[in-house]
Structures are given as C-alpha cells and as structure tokens.
C-alpha cells in the first residue's frame, strides 16, 4: 500500500508517532486516571469516587490497559477485605508534563475554539 515517491511522503496511522500516543491515551478515561494518580497512589474505591461518572467496568478496564502499557503499577496488599493500590510508574510520570502542556493549551485557546464554533454554526444556520 501507499506506493509513494520521495516527493510526497505518505502519512499512515500505523507509522505516525502521535497516532501511537493516541493508541495509549485515546480513551477519555485514561487521562483522567493518570491525573487522579498524579498526586500519589490511590485505592480502587478512591479512584471510583474521585472520577465522576466512571463505571466500574471502564475503571477496571482502563486500569488494566494502563498497567499493561507499563504506565501504572497495581499493588495488592494481602488483607481481608482486599486492598489494592494503583500508582504511576516512572514511565507513567513522563507523561505528566505533556498532559499539563495540553491542559495549558486548552486554558489558553479553548475560548477561541468555542467562539469559532459559534460563528461557524451561525453562518451555516441558514439552510
């Protein structure tokens, strides 16, 4: 696929580095979880309460995925009832600056995006 001369290099989903980041972080929940863990380890129930409107299924599923990617560490304390703690790994922490940067971008520019949307919708209202 994508036979290309050097002049016009193709961009593919599988090649583009940013697409691979999205592959890790695309779910809307992943970032919220990383955020919630930024301050230190948290228990399952704490995360559940902390992150508004997340379902058990999505919390567990996203935690597993992050664990598999080596971004968080799951620790089970032998106790009854069980205590399970989640914490960012060093690898996971390397994402924090980038997330904060994105957050900053939103703070700076999101109002402009909202404004652009309003204008666009107004112009395309007459149909």
Site residues (CB under 7 A) for DNA?
27-29, 43-46, 48, 53-58, 60, 63-64, 74, 81-84
Work out which of 43, 44, 69, 87 binds its own copies, going by CB under 8 A: 69
Q: Which is nearer to DNA, 1 or 112 (CB)?
A: 1
Gap between the Cα atoms of 57 and 47, Å rounded: 13
Q: Note whether 26 binds its own copies by CB under 8 A.
A: yes
> How many residues bind to its own copies according to rule CB under 8 A?
55
Q: Which is nearer to DNA, 33 or 63 (CB)?
A: 63
Q: Which is nearer to its own copies, 41 or 113 (CB)?
A: 113
Binding at 11: pick from DNA, its own copies, none (beta carbon under 5-8 Å per type) = its own copies
Binding at 68: pick from its own copies, DNA, none (beta carbon under 5-8 Å per type) = its own copies
Q: Note whether 24 binds its own copies by CB under 8 A.
A: yes
Q: How many angstroms separate the most distant Cα atoms in the chain?
A: 65
Gap between the Cα atoms of 45 and 59, Å rounded: 10
Pull the structure tokens for residue 87.
């914490």
Gap between the Cα atoms of 95 and 106, Å rounded: 17
Contact 72, 92 (CB under 8 A): yes
Contact 99, 34 (CB under 8 A): yes
């Amino acid at each position: 696929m994508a036979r290309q001369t050097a002049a016009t290099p193709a961009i593919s989903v599988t090649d583009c580095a940013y697409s691979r980041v999205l592959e890790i972080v695309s779910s809307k929940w992943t970032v919220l979880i990383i955020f919630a863990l930024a301050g230190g380890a948290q228990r399952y129930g704490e995360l559940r309460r902390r992150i508004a409107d997340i379902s058990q299924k999505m919390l567990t599923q996203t935690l597993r995925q992050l664990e598999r990617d080596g971004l968080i560490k799951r620790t089970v304390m032998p106790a009854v009832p069980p205590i399970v703690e989640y914490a960012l790994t060093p690898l996971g922490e390397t994402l924090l600056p980038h997330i904060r940067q994105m957050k900053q971008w939103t703070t700076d520019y999101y109002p402009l995006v909202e404004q652009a949307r309003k204008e666009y919708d107004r112009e395309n209202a007459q149909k």
